[in-house]
Amino acid sequence: MSETVLEEGIYVKQSKGSFGSGATARECVLETFWYPYTADDGFVELLAVMENMQRVLAMKERIPLEVFKEEYSVKENSRDIYLELKKTVK
């Protein structure tokens, strides 16, 4: 079918969560980093990226394109990192 073109860069997903309970409960925002591997047939396949941006992990996530557009954003100035990681992704 048709292939979707994504911006070259590392994508960030922010998830809200909480730690503790009662008086010690704290809300937090967890950021995870993702390398866009493929985008076609209305789905995006992503590979997890380590926090230090040095390696792509074997964790994959396949999500609908509409969900991707809502929940993921490109990390600023991440194109060079993306291009370096692209050399290691098969």
Given a cut of 70, the residues of the chain with pLDDT beneath it are 1-3
CA distances from residue 56 to 3, 38, 81 in whole angstroms, order as listed: 22, 14, 11
Query: Looking at residue 1, what is its pLDDT?
Result: 45
At residue 55, the pLDDT reads: 95
Q: What does the alpha-carbon distance between residue 15 and residue 70 come to, in Å, rounded to a whole number?
A: 12
The pTM (predicted TM-score) of the whole model is: 0.84
Tally DSSP H helices, then E strands, for the chain: 2, 5
C-alpha to C-alpha distance for 53 and 60, rounded to whole angstroms: 16
CA dihedral 84, 85, 88, 89 (to 10 degrees): -140
User: What is residue 3's predicted lDDT score, i.e. its pLDDT?
Assistant: 61
